[in-house]
Amino acid sequence: MRIQSLKINNRIMNAEKVLNINIFSRQTKKMFEQVLQSIRKLGSFSEQEFDIFSKKLKVKNVEKDSFLLKQGKVCQSFCFINNGSLRQFFLTDDNSELTLNLFTENDWAFDYQSFTSQNPSTNYIQAFEDAEVFELDIHSFHELILQSQSFFKIGKLLEAGLLNDHLYNSISSPEEKYVSLLEKKPHWIQKFPLKYIASYLRMTPETLSRVRRKINH
């Protein structure tokens, strides 16, 4: 009778463990829903691979004006922006800030040159507003690849970072630059100050204002 009772208790405990695992899995998927949607765009992954990936993510809250990366530090992570926004910039010789990139919800933020070379960054990544990011560090990335070759697809994020690097340097006309931005990143106009957008497009705020008036009329 006692043995039977122990068996029943063990079955109940095992059932509870399975239930807790399933609840945790559902909660995890809900929490990381946006980032999982993002990596789905990179390729096909199994449910098991999604679970493995989710467990490698670290949740990080970044307060407004604080830094995700500073000049002189090595970029060790991809950071998915679950909410909030960030700005990447570097300081020129006259100590002016030149905007390199702007990141909003559902973007992946990292310094391409520093991450791929593992050399100190020449740039800063700063929170424009309070942000919640999901961090995947380089060591976890390598561990994922060892567990499944499917995770090589995450490397496509690096390709996107390279394509974005100096995106507008080859476009000579200020009007072309602004129209291209409106087509690709229209939400930036509402989110960020025009001085940051002008800096990103490599023009003065006055030129950007003139271009906007011309296009809007």
Contact 158, 115 (CB under 8 A): yes
Instruction: Read off the pLDDT of residues 14-70 as tens digits, 9 standing for 90 and up.
Output: 544 444 334 334 545 567 889 999 999 988 899 899 999 999 999 999 999 999 999
- At residue 125, the 3 state secondary structure works out as strand
Say yes or no to pLDDT of 189 above 80: yes
Q: Mean pLDDT over all residues of the chain?
A: 85
Burial class (CB in 10 A: 0-12, 13-18, 19+), 100: buried
pLDDT score at 166: 53
Q: What is the pTM of this model?
A: 0.82
Q: Residue 119 and residue 206: Cα distance in Å, rounded?
A: 36
- What percentage of the chain exceeds 90 in pLDDT? 59
